[in-house]
Amino acid sequence: MDLPTSDIHKQAVKSLDTTSLLTNAARQRDARNYASFPIVDVDCHHYENESISEIVRYIDDPVLKQMGMVYTGAGTGGQTPFNPAGVGYQDVAGRVTRYPLRKTETTPGDDQHRDVHLSLRWMDAMGVDYVCLFPTPMLSLGLHPQPEVEAALAKAYNRWLLENITAKEERIKTMMYVPFSDPDAAYETVKEFGDHPDVIGFMIVSVRYHAVHSNAYMKTYALMEELGKPLGFHSNYNWNDRLVGNSNRFLVTHALGFTVYNAVHLCNWVVNAMPERFPKLKTVWIESGLAWIPWVMQRLDNDYKMRWSEAPSLKGLPSDYMREMFYTSQPMEMPDNLDVLKTTFDMINADDQLLWASDYPHWDMDVPSVIYDLPFLDERQKQKMLGGNAIDLFNLDVSPRFPEYKPL
């Protein structure tokens, strides 16, 4: 297959091989002896749309189920009835070959699901022991104009994921997709799946326009807190949003979108004193990088000092609450002056709160060396951020691979 990379050059590729694609990552794995300590990836993905014909069979509503089976079977020539596809060309940026050739990669014809095989390939190549697996196209599902569609597809996906993926491989876990557009469905999702051993937390897609502090969600947060599993806000971009829609380059939409949505939800979460109402419910802010956090800390603190009467339930500065939250590292911004990054680490209490994430297989993925090679970290700090913090947060049992592991 010839992949046009410009008007002049073409790249000839027969098929995609994840192991070969990650050769350099494997070299880093061996050189840094990653096998000597557990590494946990708190944010990685699969392309659930490639298994949509399987997923729709788990839909309860007979009309939506039939619609899904017709769409994925015979096809309609139109757009998917489930996912409000966003404008963008993320797939052709950066590591180009992985996207158009993804479906060509061969896997053994056994009873193991294709997504399990593909996940284990990249995990082993990078030296990753355990992962938290998320969907990809469904990260836009919160924008669907029909809340019942998000609820139906989320429930179907959750059931399919637990039966066909996580149940087949103990190294793969998930933070359960919560259909936030329907408060009752959100509560029922946590109630149905919350105590499943492969569910290590709950995930709300940040790209949506529902207030996280609405009273409609209080019973859901209370149930999450009771279950003792964290709540994650996974960000994304939306070029159709009027705020970033006036950008004429995807670069701007991508850079801002992933930070803006999480920033808005985090500010509302803190100022409306959700940490005080649910002190044992831990929150994780996913796929926003780190550079935005010091900015939000400083802005909120500055305004709070002048308008503290608007947040009477807070018992400290907004930044005090933010330092107790968890953040995934990817995409970790690498400034030319590493003192800036070190200051960010200090401000967010990275020793205890930072969780490494790859975001594999997306184009802006990070390998473990983004943490391991930082010159201002010692070995203990590196191991905590690459795995130890996640093990503590999610109460992961890593004894099958590390029988003598002790908390750092």
* Residue 97's pLDDT band (cuts 50, 70, 90): low
Within a domain: 200 = yes
Our count of domains for the chain comes to 1
Give domain status of residue 403, yes or no. Answer: no
CB neighbours (10 Å) of residue 306?
A: 8
Please, which pLDDT band fits residue 20 given cuts at 50, 70 and 90? confident
Percent share of the chain, pLDDT over 70: 90
Q: Is residue 192 part of a domain?
A: yes
**Cβ distance 48 to 138 under 8 Å?**
yes
In angstroms, rounded to a whole number, what is the distance separating the alpha carbons of residues 381 and 217?
36
Domain membership of residue 407 (yes or no) is no
Domain range enclosing 35: 2-394
| Residue 147 CB neighbours (<10 A) | 17
Mean of the per-residue pLDDT values of the chain: 91
pTM of the model: 0.94
CA dist., res. 26 & res. 39, Å (int): 14
* Cβ within 8 Å of residue 259, ≥6 positions away: 235, 288, 289, 291, 292
Residue 381 CA to chain centroid, in angstroms?
22
Q: What integer pLDDT is reported at residue 93 of this predicted model? A: 54
Contacts of residue 200, Cβ cutoff 8 Å, sequence gap at least 6: 132, 173, 174, 175, 229, 230, 394, 395, 396
Q: Is residue 207 part of a domain?
A: yes
In a domain, 404, yes or no: no
Residues 246-264 pLDDT 10s? 888 888 888 898 999 999 9
Q: What does the pLDDT read at residue 191?
A: 98
Whether the pLDDT of residue 11 is over 80: the answer is no
Confidence of residue 101 (pLDDT cuts 50, 70, 90): confident
Which tens digits make up the pLDDT trace of 45-71? 999 988 988 999 999 999 989 888 887
Is there a domain that residue 389 lies in?
A: yes
The reported pLDDT for the residue numbered 7 is 47
18-27, 102-111, 342-351, range with greatest mean pLDDT: 342-351
What pLDDT sits at residue 3? 45
Distances (CA, A) of 76 to 63, 67, 73, 86, 206: 16, 10, 9, 19, 30
| Whether the predicted pLDDT of 2 surpasses 60 | no
CATH code, 61: 3.20.20.140
- The answer to the question of residue 301 being in a domain is yes
Report which listed range, 79-88, 90-99, 139-148, is most confident: 139-148
pLDDT per position as a tens digit, 286-323: 999 999 999 999 999 999 999 999 999 999 999 999 99
Mean pLDDT, residues 140-146: 90
Q: Are 43 and 134 in contact (CB under 8 A)?
A: yes
Backbone phi and psi for residue 138, each to the nearest 5 degrees, phi listed first? -70, -5
Q: Of residues 351 and 5, which shows the higher confidence score?
A: 351
Tell me how crowded residue 370 is: count the other CB atoms within 10 A of its CB: 19
